[in-house]
Amino acid sequence: MHIQKIRLTNFRNFAATEVEFAERRNLIVGANAQGKTNLLEAIHVLGLGRSHRDRKDQNLVRFGETYYRIEGIFQHIGVRTTIEVTYSEERKRIKINGKEARPAALLGLAPVVASSPEDIDLIKRSPGYRRAFLDLALSQVSREYLASLQSYARALAQRNVVLKRSQEGRAARGETAVWDEAIVDHGENLVTARIAFLAEIRPKVEETTSVMSGQACEVALVYEPRGYSLSSGPAADWDGSAASAMLRGSVRDSLRRALEENRHVEVARGFTLFGPHVDDFKFVCDGRDIRLFGSEGEQRTSVIALRCAEVALIKAKLGHHPIVLLDDVFAELDETRSRALTALISEFDQIVLTSSRPGALDDTGIRRIAVAAGEITYDG
The letter for the amino acid at 168 is E
Q: Which does 63 bind (CB under 5 to 8 A by kind): ligand ATP, Mg ion, none?
A: ligand ATP
Residue of 3, 6, 22, 30 that binds ligand ATP (CB under 6 A)? 30
**Region from 35-43, 108-116, 182-190, 234-242 binding ligand ATP, contact rule CB under 6 A:** 35-43
- Shorter beta-carbon distance to ligand ATP: residue 32 or 215: 32
Is 34 one of the binding residues for ligand ATP (CB under 6 A)? yes
Is 37 one of the binding residues for Mg ion (CB under 5 A)? yes
Is 34 one of the binding residues for Mg ion (CB under 5 A)? no
Q: Which does 30 bind (CB under 5 to 8 A by kind): ligand ATP, Mg ion, none?
A: ligand ATP
Burial class (CB in 10 A: 0-12, 13-18, 19+), 379: exposed
Q: Which does 61 bind (CB under 5 to 8 A by kind): Mg ion, ligand ATP, none?
A: ligand ATP
**Region from 36-44, 168-176, 209-217, 239-247 binding ligand ATP, contact rule CB under 6 A:** 36-44
Paired residues of 76 in beta bridges: 79
Is 186 one of the binding residues for ligand ATP (CB under 6 A)? no
Residue of 37, 51, 140, 299 that binds ligand ATP (CB under 6 A)? 37
Smallest Cα–Cα separation from 371: which of 122, 3, 40? 40
- Shorter beta-carbon distance to Mg ion: residue 115 or 166: 115
CA distance 349 to 191: 31
Residue of 20, 61, 236, 270 that binds ligand ATP (CB under 6 A)? 61
| Cα 205-208-212 angle, rounded to 5 deg | 140
> What minimum distance in Å lies between the beta carbon of 32 and Mg ion?
7
Is 38 one of the binding residues for ligand ATP (CB under 6 A)? yes
Is 51 one of the binding residues for Mg ion (CB under 5 A)? no
Is 12 one of the binding residues for ligand ATP (CB under 6 A)? yes
Q: Who's near 203: CB < 8 A, 6+ residues apart? A: none
DSSP alpha helix (H) spans, the chain: 36-48, 121-124, 127-141, 143-167, 177-213, 244-261, 263-269, 290-293, 296-318, 335-345
Smallest Cα–Cα separation from 327: which of 28, 25, 7, 20? 28
Residue closest to Mg ion, measured at CB: 37
- Shorter beta-carbon distance to ligand ATP: residue 298 or 327: 327
Is 355 one of the binding residues for Mg ion (CB under 5 A)? no
Element (H, E) at 115: strand 112-115
- Shorter beta-carbon distance to Mg ion: residue 13 or 192: 13
**Region from 7-15, 31-39, 184-192, 260-268 binding Mg ion, contact rule CB under 5 A:** 31-39
Is 367 one of the binding residues for ligand ATP (CB under 6 A)? no
Is 35 one of the binding residues for ligand ATP (CB under 6 A)? yes
CB 66 within 8 A of CB 75: no
Residue of 36, 44, 50, 307 that binds ligand ATP (CB under 6 A)? 36
CA distance 234 to 377: 51
CA distance 349 to 319: 12
- Shorter beta-carbon distance to ligand ATP: residue 2 or 12: 12
Q: Who's near 312: CB < 8 A, 6+ residues apart? A: 201, 204
Is 33 one of the binding residues for ligand ATP (CB under 6 A)? yes
DSSP alpha helix (H) spans, 114-272: 121-124, 127-141, 143-167, 177-213, 244-261, 263-269
Other C-beta atoms lying within 10 Å of the C-beta of residue 214: 12
Rounded to the nearest 10 degrees, the angle between the axes of helix 177-213 and helix 143-167 is 130
Please give the size of the binding site for Mg ion, defined by CB under 5 A: 2
Chain residues that interact with ligand ATP, rule: CB under 6 A = 12-13, 30, 32-38, 59, 61-63
Chain residues that interact with Mg ion, rule: CB under 5 A = 36-37
